[in-house]
Amino acid sequence: MSRKLFGTDGVRGQANTHPMTAEMALRLGAAAGRYFRRDGRNGHRVVIGKDTRLSGYMLENALTAGLTSTGMNVLLLGPVPTPAVGYLTRSMRADLGIMISASHNPAEDNGIKFFGPDGFKLSDEAEAEIENIVAAEIAPAQPKNIGRAKRIDDGRGRYVEYAKTTFPAGRRLDGIRVVVDCANGAAYRAAPEVLWELGADVIAIGVEPNGFNINDGVGSTHPEACAAAVLEHGAQLGISLDGDADRVAIIDETGRLADGDQIMALLAGRWAEQGRLRGGALVATVMSNLGLERYLGGRGLRLERTAVGDRYVVERMREKGFNLGGEQSGHIVMTDYATTGDGLIAAMQFLAAMADSGASASALAAQFEPVPQMLKNVRYASGADPLSAAAVKAVIREAETRLAGSGRVLIRKSGTEPLIRVMAEAEDEGVLREVVEGIVAAVERAA
């Protein structure tokens, strides 16, 4: 089934512009309610979380109206991280979980992500069915079967307590100074609470949301804010989350950034040594660095690559029974602990490695030497398809021939924004630059 509303991570767009309107949110809520009430029973539950965007109020109310109109009972969590919604959907025995967030996007955007009763994101097929219901006439519930809505005041607290259980029993973070950047987003209270309760000396930044400043100069898309705070306060570690806290960037004590590839390399190596890495493999996307693949191969481990999107990483993990995966962008998926990427729990695993080994963050965050990689984004007009242009195809073929055996080229459309992402890797940085700039120029002409 094809999908038009749903992208790689739910439905996303600019607030008050299709499809992120109150009207569409109402229809999506009603369609999801009808999809999950196919058995006709009453008493179905849905939990709804959100980040700190102003438009979250509008979409939360509209979704609630749509869901209750089809007989779903709604439990409102307020601002909580995306992984908290996955956890609480299972914990509260809900039939559906919804997160209102556009993740790392600017404040004017928003999105709606759906989770099934198992806490995992819905499959492409389920999303396509919901789209079909949106397009049809949605039958409301009988008056006596209209659902109820209730605010859950301790949703964040439940997640905080659970997150602490993922840290090694008996271990504390006494004496470790940590900067945590919450991007003025969904984890602005939960993340500092968890780290403080485990004993860390916590310096929190990006914890003053006002509805408009999520991801604005802070968070994992702007790690320089966390790096500056690490250096200013003499911290041993910086943790930079994104707006909904499902991804993380690690900053070592020198202010240097470690991306998701380095974090996954550390965890894969540790878990393999401990006999915890199921299947002897790490699942990552086509964006992960070639250096990560070589690092794993040198340790007798495999890298399984998927399409871009943490949902596809999770699908491969579930299909083959793996328990560790993620993306270079910092989505780290540990199915022993969470059903989706969890930036805070991933950072806690990094802290556990520091506590166990006594090693510095800089030593742990440089597991392999990355192959030079360059990524550039080209924005294009809605409805355009620059990748179909013959001139663009010819330039890409030429680049692939030039890098054969010594690197690779990856060109793809973003699943969340009108961008063409041009990525290449090569041992020779001069050749790398020429290849990427040549493709970018061709795409810009076609766009």
Tokens of 187: 């984890």
| Separation CA 378–CA 390 (nearest Å) | 17
| Residue 95 labeled ligand binder | no
| H/E element, 339 | none
Closest residue by Cα to residue 431 from 405, 394, 392, 412: 405
CA distances from 257 to 96, 135, 240, 277, 330 (A): 36, 45, 10, 25, 11
DSSP labels, 60-88: HHHHHHHHHHTT-EEEEEEE--HHHHHHH
d(CA 133, CA 116): 17
User: Has 9 been labeled as part of a binding site?
Assistant: no
Hey, what amino acid is at 190? A
The answer to whether the annotation marks 261 as part of a ligand binding site is no
State the catalytic residue, choosing from 69, 103, 240, 288: 103
User: Cβ neighbours of residue 327 under 8 Å, at least 6 residues apart?
Assistant: 247, 260, 284, 285, 287, 288, 308, 310, 313, 341
The span from the CA of 238 to the CA of 347, in Å, is 9
Q: Check the annotation: does 259 bind a ligand.
A: no
> Among the residues of 185-239, which ranges form H helices?
190-197, 224-233
The gap between the terminal CA atoms of the chain, to the nearest Å, is 28
Clarify whether 103 is annotated catalytic: yes
Q: Minimal CA–CA distance to 415: which of 185, 32, 80, 124? A: 124
Which strands, in side-by-side order, build the sheet including 96-100? 11-14, 109-115, 96-100, 45-50, 73-79, 149-151
Q: Which residues are annotated as a binding site for Mg(2+)?
A: 103, 242, 244, 246
What residues are labeled active site? 103
Q: Which residues are annotated as a binding site?
A: 103, 242, 244, 246
